[in-house]
């Protein structure tokens, strides 16, 4: 009985499951309302007039998210990947989405242990982490996460190359402009601000080279930045194509076993065929 209840709760909390068709829209709507509330709380007159309403909504939201997190940790053993009662739950709690779930409620409980008012005021903005919970329920956001996971090695390589170019260009610009502009290019870390806005081809104009050697370096860095920042775009576009093509190849008819949590793929057309003398009636494949 306890095992069936655990599997049922796991099915309700797991996005895309048949049992979660009412729970998913409720949680998604609550997340969106929380983000709106965090934004509106920054309006002083609005927060002063409806502070009790804001607090009541925050209390309700934290209660729901806390119960959801506890039930997820308790029922995760219904999934064969986390079947161990102790280490399985610890591995589940270390997954990225579980960490996001914890960050969604943690700012509410931290003031109990921390009394620094400046830190407590900053914790209010940390509630925006709740918007990341949408990645669990939105198929589009989940597709984006799948693309990042698929192309993480290529993206890390691009990031490493950008960091190397940033350090080299900032060092060269520091040597070229330090004497002419000791305040703007006071150190290599200070010159990195120029390197970032130049590599990103933003160019705010608050820091720029004035020496001939500095202008030459800046021109080269701008050209390299255009090409280097175009590479991740191509990698992400390729990743989206691969992930979407893979999802189209996957069978659309699948169910989740309430006992083991595994996906059961079923050919409905074959299952609907009448029984023959040579084979079973139901051609269901796990």
* Residue 129 confidence class, pLDDT cut points 50, 70, 90: low
Ranking 42-56, 201-215, 241-255 by mean pLDDT, the lowest is 241-255
Q: Is residue 1 within 8 Å of residue 9, measured between CB atoms?
A: no
- The ranges assigned to domains in the chain are 2-137, 152-249, 254-285
Handedness of CA 184, 185, 186, 192 (dihedral sign): positive
Residue 281 DSSP one-character state = S
Q: Which tokens in the block code for residue 194?
A: 């120029």
Burial of 233 (0-12, 13-18, 19+ CB in 10 A): exposed
Summarize pLDDT for 78-102 with one digit per residue, the tens: 888 888 888 989 999 998 888 888 8
Block residue for tokens 């049922």? 8
Per-residue pLDDT, 9: 86
Nearest to 148 by CA among 242, 230, 239, 228: 239
Question: Higher-confidence residue: 131 or 193?
Answer: 193
Summarize pLDDT for 41-90 with one digit per residue, the tens: 888 898 889 989 999 998 999 899 999 999 999 988 888 888 888 898 99
**Mean pLDDT calculated for residue range 246-259:** 59
Calculate ∠ Cα 156-246-144, nearest 5°. Answer: 45
Report d(CA 171, CA 174) in Å as an integer.
5
* Angstrom distances, CA of residue 1 to CA of 33, 81, 86, 129: 36, 21, 21, 36
Report d(CA 33, CA 43) in Å as an integer.
16
Question: DSSP E strands: which ranges in the chain?
Answer: 254-256, 263-266, 284-285
**Mean pLDDT calculated for residue range 185-210:** 84
Burial of 261 (0-12, 13-18, 19+ CB in 10 A): buried
Contact residues for 239 (Cβ-Cβ < 8 A; gap 6+): 147, 148, 150, 151
Summarize pLDDT for 177-189 with one digit per residue, the tens: 988 888 888 888 8
**Mean pLDDT calculated for residue range 11-35:** 79
Query: Given 1.10.1240.10, 3.40.50.300, 3.40.710.10, 1.20.120.350, which CATH number is that of 2-137?
Result: 1.20.120.350
Mean pLDDT of the chain: 78
Contact residues for 81 (Cβ-Cβ < 8 A; gap 6+): 88, 91
Per-residue pLDDT, 281: 42
| Residue 266 β-bridge partners | 284
Q: Cβ atoms within 10 A of the Cβ of 207, count?
A: 19
Handedness of CA 264, 270, 274, 279 (dihedral sign): negative
CATH architecture of 152-249: Orthogonal Bundle (1.10)
Report the range out of 117-121, 133-137, 159-163 with the highest average pLDDT. Answer: 159-163
Would the pLDDT of 276 be above 50? no
**Mean pLDDT calculated for residue range 236-262:** 67
Cα diameter, the chain: 92
Report d(CA 123, CA 237) in Å as an integer.
36
> What percentage of the chain has pLDDT greater than the value 70?
73
């Amino acid at each position: 009985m306890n095992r069936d209840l655990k599997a049922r709760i796991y099915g309700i909390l797991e996005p895309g499951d048949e049992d979660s068709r009412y729970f998913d829209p409720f949680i998604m709507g609550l997340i969106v309302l929380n983000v709106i509330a965090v934004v509106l709380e920054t309006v002083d007159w609005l927060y002063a007039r409806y502070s009790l309403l804001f607090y009541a909504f925050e209390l309700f939201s934290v209660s729901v998210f806390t119960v959801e997190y506890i039930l997820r940790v308790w029922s995760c053993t219904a999934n064969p990947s986390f079947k161990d009662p102790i280490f399985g739950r610890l591995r589940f709690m270390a997954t990225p989405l579980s960490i996001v779930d914890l960050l969604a409620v943690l700012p509410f409980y931290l003031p109990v242990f921390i009394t620094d008012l400046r830190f407590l005021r900053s914790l209010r903005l940390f509630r925006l982490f709740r918007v990341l919970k949408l990645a669990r329920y939105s198929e589009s956001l989940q597709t984006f996460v799948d693309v990042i996971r698929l192309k993480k090695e290529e993206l890390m390589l691009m990031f490493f190359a950008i960091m190397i170019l940033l350090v080299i260009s900032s060092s060269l610009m520091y040597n070229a402009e330090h004497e002419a502009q000791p305040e703007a290019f006071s150190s290599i870390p200070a010159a990195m601000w120029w390197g970032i806005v130049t590599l990103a081809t933003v160019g705010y104009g608050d820091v720029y080279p004035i020496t001939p050697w500095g202008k030459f370096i800046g021109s080269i860095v701008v050209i390299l930045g255009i090409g280097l920042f175009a590479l991740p775009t191509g990698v992400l576009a390729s990743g989206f194509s691969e992930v979407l093509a893979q999802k189209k190849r996957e069978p659309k008819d699948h169910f989740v076993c309430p006992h083991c949590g595994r996906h059961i793929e079923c050919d409905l057309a074959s299952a609907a065929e009448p029984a023959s003398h040579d084979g079973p009636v139901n051609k269901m494949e796990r």
